[in-house]
Amino acid sequence: MPRFYPRDYNPTLLMKHVSAPAWALFAGAAYWGVIWWPYRLLGQAGLDGLWATLFTYVVACIVGFAALRGAWRAFTKLSFFSVLMGASIGWSNLAYVLGVLHGEVMRVLLLFYLAPLWTVPLAHFLLGERLDRTGLSVMALATIGAMTMLWHPELGMPLPQGLAEWLGLAAGFLFALGNVLVRKLHDLTDGEKSLVIWAGVALAGLVHVGQSALPASRAWEIAVSQAPLVLAIGVTLVAAGLALQYGLSRLPANRAVVILLSELVVAAIASWLIAGESLRVRDWIGGALIVAATLVSAYSTRPGTS
């Protein structure tokens, strides 16, 4: 049986050395577990997902340029991998939005949350990370938890069927690729990486916003009328992005992606409390498995494992 904790496990040392990156990742994941609500409010106001994504990430870029002193230098030292990171996460965000807008949400979510499976080979080839028995156990536990929460027998096997589902699968792969590249870019600070990512999402939205049925003039009018909400989302995207970069840059990719799966748990609870959606028994079971995988991942990450 794999050991889920180091031989010299000490809770005090654990909290001192690894809790900050783990908690930062959890905070970022929790944010994404509730961000659907303000975006849903923008949707109710008439602003669709493409325009909402573009406007909020433009705000994030502006705030990032103003608040992160010197982070703009990231664009003066762009490399193949930094451009690939920004493009990967940018198009991941856009593909996810388009997938859930035009397809069966549960199938798109299920395909997106196959991201942990892509992380393993990507981290091996790009970072040289080795996956031990504990890591394999953690990945299996997290994947089973995600499948338990998202599985709908009537929807069939989680294989892409149609453009929306291929977008969901692509979003998960690009998300995994971007998160692995975050750890590879040692020459960029957390703020610089975040700024490149926000710019990547904004650029992806700009390139594809022509697919929206909402005219630009009308989208701008709605955005102005909802300015406090648009600004609030943009500002909090900066905070969540920095938290994610802090955690992703300091934890092995195959551990970090497990912690990010806690977004599912937060989203399920938020939908219950905010939207009045009921939690099923399998939601609680799947959530418990993901939480367990997250805790095992944190406890098995030794100081200096980065």
Residue 283, in any domain of the structure: no
Cβ neighbours of residue 261 closer than 8 Å, sequence gap 6 or more: 29, 113, 116, 142, 145, 146, 290, 293, 294
pLDDT value for 45: 92
Domains of the chain: total: 1
Q: What band does 8 get if pLDDT is binned at 50, 70 and 90?
A: very low
Q: Is the pLDDT of residue 144 over 50?
A: yes
E strand residue ranges, 131-288? none
pLDDT value for 234: 94
CA dihedral for 82, 63, 100, 102, sign (positive or negative): negative
Q: How far is CA 243 from CA 60, 209, 236, 294, 306, in A?
A: 14, 28, 11, 17, 16
Mean pLDDT of 214-228: 95
Q: What percent of the chain has a predicted confidence (pLDDT) above 90?
A: 16
Tokens, residue 19: 């809790």
**Taking the CB of residue 92, how many other CB atoms lie within 10 A of it?**
27
* Global confidence as pTM: 0.77
Residue 114, in any domain of the structure: yes
Q: What band does 229 get if pLDDT is binned at 50, 70 and 90?
A: very high
Q: 211: which DSSP letter?
A: G
User: Please, are residues 240 and 31 in contact by the beta-carbon 8 Å criterion?
Assistant: yes
Residue 209, in any domain of the structure: yes
Look-up: residue for tokens 């959530």?
Answer: 287
Residue 62, in any domain of the structure: yes
**Taking the CB of residue 43, how many other CB atoms lie within 10 A of it?**
15
Residue 89, in any domain of the structure: yes
Residue 301, in any domain of the structure: no
How many C-alpha atoms does 131 have within 13 Å on its Cβ side? 20
Q: Show the domain range for 179.
A: 19-131+152-250
User: Please, are residues 45 and 223 in contact by the beta-carbon 8 Å criterion?
Assistant: no
Tokens, residue 288: 């418990």
Mean pLDDT of 262-281: 76
What CA–CA distance (Å, rounded) separates 60 from 272? 28
Between 47-56, 113-122, 164-173, the lowest mean confidence (pLDDT) is in 113-122
115 φ, ψ to 5°? -50, -40
Q: Is the pLDDT of residue 14 over 60?
A: no
Tokens, residue 142: 């997290």
What CA–CA distance (Å, rounded) separates 177 from 106? 22
Tokens, residue 69: 């002193």
Q: How far is CA 170 from CA 240, 264, 278, in A?
A: 23, 19, 29
pLDDT value for 121: 77
Residue 13, in any domain of the structure: no
Q: Is the pLDDT of residue 218 over 90?
A: yes
Which residue type does 146 have?
A: A
Mean pLDDT of 103-109: 67
pLDDT value for 254: 64
Tokens, residue 287: 């959530």
pLDDT value for 163: 85
What integer best gives the mean pLDDT of the chain?
79
Residue 34, in any domain of the structure: yes
What CA–CA distance (Å, rounded) separates 295 from 290? 9
